[in-house]
Structure 1
Amino acid sequence: MKQVAQNYRSGELTVLDVPVPSCKPGGVLVRSLFSLISTGTEMMKVTEARLSLLGKARARPDQVKKVLDSMAQQGPVATYKKAINTLDSYTPLGYSLCGVVVEVGAGAEEFAVGDLVAAAGNEFALHAELNWVPRNLCVRVPDGVAPEHAAFATVGAIAMQGVRRSEPQLGELACVIGLGLIGQLVVRLLVASGVRVVGVDTVPARCAMAEEAGAIASGTPDGEGGVALERAIAAATGGLGADHVFLAAGGDSNGPVELAARIARDRARVVDIGKTKLDLPWNAYYEKELDVRFSRSYGPGRYDDRYELEGVDYPAGYVRWTERRNLECFLQLLAAGSVDVGPLVSGTHPIADAESVYGQLRDGSLKGIGFLFEYPEAADQAPAAAAPATAHTRTVAAPRTAGTSQRTGTGTDSGTVRLGFIGAGAYASSMLLPHLAKLPAATLGTVATTRSLSAVNAQRKFGFRALTTDASSVLEDPAIDAVFVVTRHHSHADFVCRALEAGKAVFVEKPLALTAEQVDRVLETVDRTGNDRVMVGFNRRFAPLFTDLRRRFGPTAGPVSVRYLVNAGELSSGSWYLNEEQEGSRFLGEGGHFIDTVGAWIGSAPVEVTAFQTGDGADLQATLRYADGSLATLTYATDGNARFPKETMDVSGAGRNARLDNFTRATVWSRSGKDVKRSYAGQDKGQRAEVAAFVEAVRTGAPMPIGLDSLVSTTLATIAVEESLTSGGPVKL
């Protein structure tokens, strides 16, 4: 299928041929009829992508801080590679469309194949022929609403949420500053609500459009136009000033904020909907005690994964207007004729012409407010006869990226291992695939991702021979020798079992499982199939500084004491790690790394775990007792300084001490003195050696690099930490 995408590093904007997304539970697969270009949000993104790296940094200072924090913890080399990997990827455009349902996932049975729907979301309602959309971001289109008008529903919901934030009342006067697409919709919604409206924009044609929609006056903000506007507002309000001011403008000028202060009445509400400079003039806003409010996207539910992805609705008695209800309300206004978006359609273009359309919008040769992409094959198809989409897999003649070698042959019979990947997110793309792509013994076969562009990015960078959005295509392919599972935590155990049942070797990123029951299922599958070819991504035991430090420390006749400090740091508010109900706790997902590293040092299995956490539950400390009498204390802290090293391990025993400082420096203290080694090339946490060892074991049939008993022991010890926190006492293993 066709999809519009942009490379944020190079600025390249193109229409790609990508696999059709699979229809997952909780949503529907929608064949697009029309998708709306957001001339504000999207063009800002398109413009940023064409900036230099320095220009991008200036445009996104929030991201610069993250990069600096990462450099302090991981070093410049690792940070640079990670940043470039993120930038040098295709990203989607679009977030508002109308289309026809062609497939219904489990849990979304309120929809039926053939339904005409409007869809929202910058991860779901994309400029693509087909999109999977979760149920709470999808609504039926009422009879009588043209599909091209229904495609405005998302931006209509954005405007509606802004109006709701201001709480206008009949007869009041509102001023809308910025009469682009959102501003024009705000004008129409306010007029429909019985509110008098004055519009402000630097483009006279937009002012005229606002007046045609019902604004009592409009004009430019400067010079005589600005004076006339202020007089009109004063005349309409008896000198009081505007009851509400909506900032729907963009750009770096502070003019809209200053104008709002001049025209607003005492204690008026100022609502920011767009993305404009907000350097509030303190005296002006203080003296009038202006109420400044922000409007966040489509409404309550936005950025809440439980609402958007899991379909958990908010009770109307507590949250009357969610983003889905805003979408429905806007469509109902269109159906009733209370709002007309027809005059906002400035042009409709085939999706194949997207590159040209964005170019003309960027250089100003294409003028207007609302532009639509049309999908002619879908438009010619009657909704009731909409055909399901089945092209989830695409085979390509994969070009090799710079620095990789072209290989021939398939599977172990020809001396190479053919790999399949399920998941190709940030970690897989930066920490695993770059190493695998350079291994002569490995051939990258098929990559499966839930998002179409993720598969395209993986193929483009690493040379996969086929890409798909159907994980079963990887698991059922007889040519695949080994499967890498690099997905979200809740899916690991299931994919491992399915891969083993298919006769594959499997490499799964930590954790192997989230519960003891899932561990039992993996072991039952191993027993039933006789296939124990499992490897978990416990990479730290393969780190060069760690293995060398263990060698220099030497053998010990008795137990040792280990102290491991993890300065994990805070998670961003949108991180999927925060969904503990589905993905398990943060420690459950990551803690196995550190328990495995300690176990690799000691060479013995833990037999007892006791854990405590701080009052707020943010930090924890676990003590592990091992069969040989060794003790390990693991501190997992989330509220430390972001630039303090992430990991520090200290070992004491047999008259010696060892310290591993964040995989950049390793020191041994012994009777012969102090011996220090450093990694001058930056952090190496062992991923290169780890994947090489796994591929070689698969190729030769040798034992897995980490024994299954050890993998299970580490996983159960990690789970035991959670059990100890709950019970308040020790847990024996």
Structure 2
Amino acid sequence: MNKPLGPSGEFKKLLRFAGIYGWSRAINKAIARTRPPWLRPLVFIRRKPAISVIGCGQFAFSCVCYYLKKQIGTAFLSAFDTDGQQARSLSRYYGFREVTTTPDALLNNPDLAVLYVVSNHASHTAYAVEGLTRNKIVYVEKPVSVTRQQLVRLCQAVRQSSGQVFAGYNRPYSKAIQLLRKRVDSSSEAAGFSISYVINGHQIPSEHWYRNAEEGTRICGNLGHWIDLTIHLFFWRSIPDWIDIQIAYANPNEPDDDLTVTFTTDRYDIVSILLTSRSEPFEGISEFINIQYNDIIAHIDDFRRLTIWQGAVKKVWRFWPKDVGHQRAVMQPFLENNRNWLEVELSTLLMLFIRDMVLKRQTGLRFNTHQELAGFEADLQSASLLYPPFTHEKNS
């Protein structure tokens, strides 16, 4: 997504990244982009191989495997990617036991316990369903689905499987949101939220795969993060009966770039999401969020600083390295107190509803929450006729 900077620019970016993420993550990000074949870590803390990864691109390299290795050591079993070189370079650097040439070979390995799906967006659901069919623990990157049909199939698999599923949406696990939740939880009155997001996003060319309708467009690839965070915040209180959606497009020819999405609800919530990529921040995406609820006013400055005002009290937290929740999200399969999957179902339904609006260049519609959920449950019941319960044996 980033334009070539030249050696001096790349070095400057490395320094900036180190100031934001720390040297370890900054160097890892650089290695993820270049993947020199001669470079390998000097020390492996080896565990029993049980974790396999489908999709071995930059995010798998610089985030998912980075945090898994950091937290639990090298417990990597199999790697698969449609680009064999990507799979081999990830496997070599992180000490995977094997690279498979097909996803079935990876999925059918009897030692597989935890599956991480980090492939292209349109393939997330299919791989996650295959893992759940085998009753595995599955972490599926966002978006979990890019069509309603995919989401129906995935959620049916979730209900039938004795495995578990976790979504890669990370903002709810950021330290800023976790700290804010403690204060909102202590507030007894069910008030409305006022939320404003200003997102300076990556510049991507018109032919980039993120824009493809079959991959969900930037609505699923980018905007879904803040749709999901909004639903997560609503779940702290109660979900609204309806959400009125207004969309303003800067350029109708590129409707998923430079747009504002606004929500109002029957709970008197008002939410504004501005996603713009007219110019890209040097360090990549940056986010500024204001949240008001009852007597709480919170400002999140790029997930590097949180300021909360509550009456006469003002508190400030600074986060270094920057914490957008990646580490905690990646570690969900190994931790307790994770978010409710129903949040992800609803946020994905809303995201797909907005994606359809954008593809049709619509500017205003109402999302009837309980009606949409009831319709989704009906779809799940219909799908059970097409996809009977799993026949794979349960894991011992």
Instruction: Tell me the TM-score range normalised by the shorter chain.
Output: 0.7 to 0.9
Name the counterpart of 1:81.
28
1:624 aligns with 2:259: no
Name the counterpart of 2:308.
668
Name the counterpart of 2:118.
486
Name the counterpart of 1:544.
175
The 1-side partners of 2:177 and 2:281 are apart by 23
2:41 to 393, 401, 404: 401
The 1-side partners of 2:14 and 2:205 are apart by 14
The one-letter code matched in structure 2 to 1:518 is: Q
User: Retained in 1: the 8 A contact 2:244–2:265?
Assistant: no
- Offset from partner CA, 1:493-519 (integer Å, 9 cap, x none): 111111111221211110011111211
The 1-side partners of 2:43 and 2:244 are apart by 46
User: Structure 1 663/581 Cα, relative in aligned 2: closer, same or farther at 3 Å?
Assistant: same
Alignment partner of 1:90: what SS? coil
User: Retained in 2: the 8 A contact 1:67–1:79?
Assistant: no
1:533 aligns with 2:164: yes
User: Retained in 1: the 8 A contact 2:74–2:94?
Assistant: no
The 2-side partners of 1:574 and 1:456 are apart by 27
The 1-side partners of 2:131 and 2:244 are apart by 31
Instruction: Give the stretch that moved more between structures: 466-475 or 644-653.
Output: 644-653
User: Retained in 2: the 8 A contact 1:419–1:443?
Assistant: yes
- Offset from partner CA, 1:680-716 (integer Å, 9 cap, x none): x33122122222232235xxxxx8x232211111111
User: Retained in 2: the 8 A contact 1:86–1:426?
Assistant: yes
Offset, 1:567:
0.9
2:72 to 437, 440, 446: 440
Offset, 1:678:
0.8
The 2-side partners of 1:625 and 1:695 are apart by 37
The 1-side partners of 2:245 and 2:7 are apart by 38
- Offset from partner CA, 1:257-302 (integer Å, 9 cap, x none): xxxxxxxxxxxxxxxxxxxxxxxxxxxxxxxxxxxxxxxxxxxxxx
Alignment partner of 1:669: what SS? strand
The one-letter code matched in structure 2 to 1:707 is: N
- Structure 1 segment 212-361 matched on structure 2, within 5 A: none
Offset, 1:426:
0.4
The 2-side partners of 1:628 and 1:467 are apart by 51
Alignment partner of 1:663: what SS? coil
- Offset from partner CA, 1:305-361 (integer Å, 9 cap, x none): xxxxxxxxxxxxxxxxxxxxxxxxxxxxxxxxxxxxxxxxxxxxxxxxxxxxxxxxx
* Structure 2 unmatched runs, 5+: 370-396
User: Retained in 1: the 8 A contact 2:227–2:347?
Assistant: yes
1:567 to 200, 211, 231: 200
1:521 aligns with 2:147: no
Alignment partner of 2:70: what SS? coil
The one-letter code matched in structure 1 to 2:209 is: W
Alignment partner of 1:608: what SS? strand
2:298 to 653, 658, 680: 658
Offset, 1:489:
0.7
User: Retained in 1: the 8 A contact 2:113–2:137?
Assistant: yes
Name the counterpart of 1:716.
349
- TM-score w.r.t. length of structure 2: 0.79
Higher relative contact order (CA 8 A, sep 6+): 2
The 2-side partners of 1:70 and 1:614 are apart by 34
Alignment partner of 2:292: what SS? strand
User: Structure 1 61/638 Cα, relative in aligned 2: closer, same or farther at 3 Å?
Assistant: closer
1:677 aligns with 2:310: no
The 1-side partners of 2:118 and 2:280 are apart by 29
User: Structure 1 84/526 Cα, relative in aligned 2: closer, same or farther at 3 Å?
Assistant: closer
User: Structure 1 715/72 Cα, relative in aligned 2: closer, same or farther at 3 Å?
Assistant: farther
RMSD of aligned alpha carbons: 2.9
The 1-side partners of 2:199 and 2:354 are apart by 15
1:608 to 223, 243, 257: 243
- Offset from partner CA, 1:424-472 (integer Å, 9 cap, x none): 1101110110111133387211111122222221122211111123111
Alignment partner of 2:227: what SS? helix
The one-letter code matched in structure 1 to 2:92 is: R
Name the counterpart of 1:634.
273
Offset, 1:530:
3.5
The 1-side partners of 2:40 and 2:7 are apart by 30
The one-letter code matched in structure 2 to 1:433 is: C
- TM-score w.r.t. length of structure 1: 0.44
The one-letter code matched in structure 1 to 2:151 is: V
Count matched residues.
350
Offset, 1:728:
3.0
Instruction: Give the stretch that moved more between structures: 641-650 or 447-456.
Output: 641-650
User: Retained in 1: the 8 A contact 2:184–2:293?
Assistant: no
Offset, 1:588:
1.7
2:137 to 505, 514, 524: 505
1:647 aligns with 2:287: yes
User: Structure 1 404/690 Cα, relative in aligned 2: closer, same or farther at 3 Å?
Assistant: farther
The one-letter code matched in structure 2 to 1:590 is: N
* Structure 1 unmatched runs, 5+: 1-59, 92-398, 411-417, 698-702
The one-letter code matched in structure 2 to 1:690 is: A
Alignment partner of 1:730: what SS? strand
The one-letter code matched in structure 2 to 1:568 is: G
The one-letter code matched in structure 2 to 1:624 is: F
Name the counterpart of 2:52.
420
- Offset from partner CA, 1:644-677 (integer Å, 9 cap, x none): 9611110112222101111111101122332111
Query: Identity, % of aligned pairs?
Result: 23
User: Retained in 2: the 8 A contact 1:611–1:724?
Assistant: no
Name the counterpart of 2:215.
583
User: Retained in 2: the 8 A contact 1:658–1:667?
Assistant: yes
User: Retained in 2: the 8 A contact 1:552–1:668?
Assistant: no
User: Structure 1 668/456 Cα, relative in aligned 2: closer, same or farther at 3 Å?
Assistant: same
- Offset from partner CA, 1:539-578 (integer Å, 9 cap, x none): 1111223312333566331122111111113115663323
User: Structure 1 728/709 Cα, relative in aligned 2: closer, same or farther at 3 Å?
Assistant: same
The 2-side partners of 1:406 and 1:524 are apart by 36
Alignment partner of 2:46: what SS? coil
The 1-side partners of 2:348 and 2:303 are apart by 23
The one-letter code matched in structure 1 to 2:229 is: T
Offset, 1:523:
2.2
Offset, 1:635:
1.3
The 2-side partners of 1:682 and 1:419 are apart by 26
Alignment partner of 1:427: what SS? helix
Name the counterpart of 1:694.
333
Offset, 1:583:
1.4
User: Retained in 2: the 8 A contact 1:482–1:506?
Assistant: yes
User: Structure 1 465/429 Cα, relative in aligned 2: closer, same or farther at 3 Å?
Assistant: same
User: Retained in 2: the 8 A contact 1:532–1:708?
Assistant: no
The 2-side partners of 1:477 and 1:691 are apart by 22
Alignment partner of 2:47: what SS? coil
Q: Which has the larger radius of gyration?
A: 1
User: Structure 1 566/70 Cα, relative in aligned 2: closer, same or farther at 3 Å?
Assistant: farther
Offset, 1:64:
5.1
User: Structure 1 573/482 Cα, relative in aligned 2: closer, same or farther at 3 Å?
Assistant: same
